[in-house]
Amino acid sequence: MPGPIATYKSYPQDVKDSLFDSFMRRFHFASEYDRSMARIVWENTAQERFNQLLHNARNMARVKSRSQNPLDWRGFGPAAIRSEYFNELCETTWNKEEWKHKLVAAMKNRSSMPEASVHVGGSRTFVRHKEIMEKELKRPVRYKELFDRTHKRKTREFVSQHSQNEGYSGRVIEKYGEDGSSSSTEPVIDMDAWLCSTGQLKKGRVYGFGRTLDPCYSRSSSSASVSSHPASSSSSAPVLEEHFLSIM
């Protein structure tokens, strides 16, 4: 962290470029398009991780100081952030009324859709969960299996009412049979059935994918038309299914 930076947007561009160059020295992509898409995903991931770092730092300071006052958090920052930077954030950013108002607004937004991001997958990405499942089962896994693994508790109960949506299973059974034994083999995911069952959340995000599998997450702004279709639109399904299979 090169300074008392409160948001990822404020991160110096030259530092971002340097970090991405370090990433690119470890990974190679076949085309310039792939490289540009890698930058988009990298930026989104970096922003998410940076926000989480500050969120965890504030929570830890709040607990250790036993205070809700940001000024009392000084001296309780994590080792990953230089103490002078953390203390300055407490004084010049988190103690300001503007930031407090934004925090309250964000909490209200999350509470308005409390089940939107509820899962039991922990910090692992959905892609990583899929890799682990396939290693355990020694076979490819279908999306419904991945969804159940990340949205069911150990008691086999769904983590939320939204997760407990039997529409997809019902449509798949009707279309392919109880065990995929009909004339056509059940695919990894039937996107038509999924969109009909779960619909879409705000901002075009598809429920149940997680950020690493969300078709809208890793597409550039030029593909915004994909996320602008109504949830029930079957025209979205082939595009989403193609994307899903490409990253699975």
Question: pTM, whole model, 2 decimals?
Answer: 0.52
| Mean local confidence (pLDDT), 78-87 | 94
Q: What is the CA radius of gyration of the chain?
A: 21
Taking CA atoms, 205 is separated from 99, 144, 166, 200, 245, in Å, by 26, 18, 20, 6, 17
What is d(CA 44, CA 42) in angstroms, rounded to the nearest whole number? 6
Highest-confidence segment of 63-77, 96-110, 204-218? 63-77
- Would you call 200 helix, strand, or coil by DSSP? strand
Inter-residue contact 215 to 41 (CB < 8 Å) = no
Mean pLDDT of the chain: 72
The answer to whether the CB of 59 falls within 8 A of the CB of 76 is no
More confident residue, 144 or 47: 47
What digits encode the pLDDT tens for the residues 178-213? 554 444 566 656 666 666 555 555 555 555 555 544
Say whether pLDDT at 236 is over 60.
no
pLDDT digits (tens, 9 = 90+) for 142-183: 777 777 777 777 776 766 655 555 555 666 666 666 554 444
Listed in sequence order, the DSSP H helices in the chain are: 13-24, 32-65, 83-92, 97-112, 126-137, 143-151, 167-176, 191-198, 210-213, 224-228, 236-247
Structural tokens at position 171: 């449509």
Neighbouring CB atoms inside 10 A of 210's CB total: 19
Give φ, ψ of 207 to 5 degrees. Answer: -65, 140
Question: What would the pLDDT profile of 6-24 be if each residue is shown by its tens digit?
Answer: 988 898 999 999 999 999 9
